[in-house]
Chain A
Amino acid sequence: MPVKDVLIYPHPLLKKICAPVEHLDEEIDSLIQDLIDTMVAAGHSVGVAAPQIGAPRRVVVVDVSHSKLGRDDNHGLLVMVNPEILEREGRKVSREGCMSVPDYTGNVVRAESVVVQFLDREGKQRVIRARGFEAVALQHEIDHLDGLLFLDRVSSLKTDLFRRKKR
Chain B
Amino acid sequence: MTHFALTIIGRDHPGIVAKVTEILYRLGCNIADSSCTILGGQFAMILILSHPKMQSNEEFGTSFAPLEADGLSVFLRKLQPGGESAAEIDGEICMISVYGSDKPGIVYPVAKILGDMQINITDLNTKLVGTPQRPVYVMMIEAVLPAGLEIEELSSALDRLKKDLQVDIAVRSITPVEL
Q: What residues make up the interface of A, taking CB atoms closer than 8 Å to B?
A: 44-47, 67-69, 94-99, 105, 133, 136-137, 140-141, 150, 158-159, 161-162
Contacts and interface: CB of A to CB of B under 8 A. Distances in A.
Nearest to B99: A161
- Determine the main DSSP class of A at the interface with B: mixed
B152 interface: no
Contacts of A158: 123, 125, 142
Closest 4 CB pairs of A and B: A140-B179, A95-B176, A97-B178, A105-B176
Of B140, B142, B174, B179, the most chain A CB neighbours within 10 A belong to B179
- Determine the main DSSP class of B at the interface with A: strand
A69 B127 contact: no
Given A158-B142, A161-B138, A95 B175 contact: yes
Contact of A46 (B125, B142, B179): B179
Interface in B109-157: 123, 125, 127, 138, 140, 142
B147 to A, nearest CB: 18
Contacts of A136: 177, 179
B168 to A, nearest CB: 14
B176 A96 contact: yes
Contacts of A133: 177
B146 to A, nearest CB: 20
Interface of B: 93, 95, 123, 125, 127, 138, 140, 142, 174-179
29 contacts: A46-B178, A46-B179, A68-B175, A69-B175, A69-B177, A94-B177, A95-B174, A95-B175, A95-B177, A96-B176, A96-B177, A96-B179, A97-B177, A97-B179, A105-B176, A133-B177, A136-B177, A136-B179, A141-B179, A158-B123, A158-B125, A158-B142, A159-B123, A159-B125, A159-B140, A159-B142, A161-B127, A161-B140, A162-B125
Contacts, number: 51
Contacts of A94: 177
B141 to A, nearest CB: 9
Contacts of A162: 125, 127
A150 B127 contact: no
Given A161-B138, A161-B140, A46 B127 contact: no
